[in-house]
Chains A and B, each alone.
Chain A
Amino acid sequence: SYVLTQPPSVSVAPGQTARITCGGNNIGSKSVHWYQQKPGQAPVLVVYDDSDRPSGIPERFSGSNSGNTATLTISRVEAGDEADYYCQVWDSSSDHLFVFGTGTKVTVL
């Protein structure tokens, strides 16, 4: 089964840059999607296909993907960015065809 590994937590000061990694075997060959989830709320898609943003998502959110690591970057972090973030891929050889990462809690100091 395909595994996506994320750091449990990332802390960042307001105005600084947060980088959240998502590690997986040859993840660079897959399309990676990123979701933001605030407490008590449903997930929200913030980046799809490695680096594209849905309408309404600020340009501060960007993504990259290469080798064995995909990265979600949040520039000029705001208090409202504090949330859990999950990466996700589709893996046809995995039991869970749609695989989510372990999740990263972003704390704004």
Chain B
Amino acid sequence: EVQLVESGGGLVQPGGSLRLSCAASGFTFSSYDMHWVRQATGKGLEWVSAIGTAGDTYYPGSVKGRFTISRENAKNSLYLQMNSLRAGDTAVYYCARERSPTTGKFLPDAFDIWGQGTMVTVSS
């Protein structure tokens, strides 16, 4: 079964750090571009970061310089290192897979597999 399982969420103080993990199974992880998407309670979806199969990374300005996405293909794992956390970063964080496998070139596609999400709360 194709599956993504996030972990690592929790309560952290403003200015603190947290590392999220996403364990992939059931597919050739190294062949897919991967993403993190977040959703604040009662709000819409917001794209947070992406990593291509070649390790190229992409961020929106709201998290650039604070968040780092990485992958470890040997462990079928995706990570999100979050530093300098703010109250506005409070959300459920989902990892998501793009629909089509790629071979090095980042090719934007729909997100066909999502994890169940992990909650991050930034509060003092």
- A98 touching B114, Cβ below 8 Å: no
**Size band of the A side of the interface?**
20 to 34
Q: Which of A35, A41, A42, A95 contacts B60 (CB 8 A)?
A: A95
Question: Which B residues from 7 to 40 make CB contacts under 8 A with A?
Answer: 35, 37
Partner of B115, one of A42, A99, A101: A42
> Does any Cβ of B come within 8 Å of A3's Cβ?
no
Q: Among residues 31 to 49 in chain A, which have CB atoms less than 8 Å away from a CB atom of chain B?
A: 31, 33, 35, 37, 41-45, 48-49
Q: Are A98 and B47 in contact (CB under 8 A)?
A: yes
Interface residue total, chain B, C-beta cutoff 8 A: 22
Q: Is A49 a contact of B46 with CB atoms below 8 Å? A: no
Asked whether B116 is an interface residue with its Cβ less than 8 Å from the other chain, the reply is yes
Contact of A42 among B35, B94, B99, B110 (CB under 8 A): B94
- For A44, the chain B residues whose CB sits under 8 A away are 114
Q: Which of A44, A98, A99, A101 has the most CB of B within 10 A?
A: A98
Residue of B nearest to A42 (CB): B114
A residues adjacent to B (C-beta < 8 A):
31, 33, 35, 37, 41-45, 48-49, 54, 86, 88, 90, 95-103
**Which residues does B use to contact A, with CB under 8 Å?**
35, 37, 44-47, 50, 58, 60-62, 94, 99, 108-112, 114-117
Beyond A96-B47, A102-B44: 14 further Cβ-contacts under 8 Å?
A33-B111, A41-B116, A42-B117, A44-B114, A48-B99, A48-B110, A88-B111, A96-B46, A97-B47, A97-B108, A98-B108, A100-B47, A101-B44, A103-B44
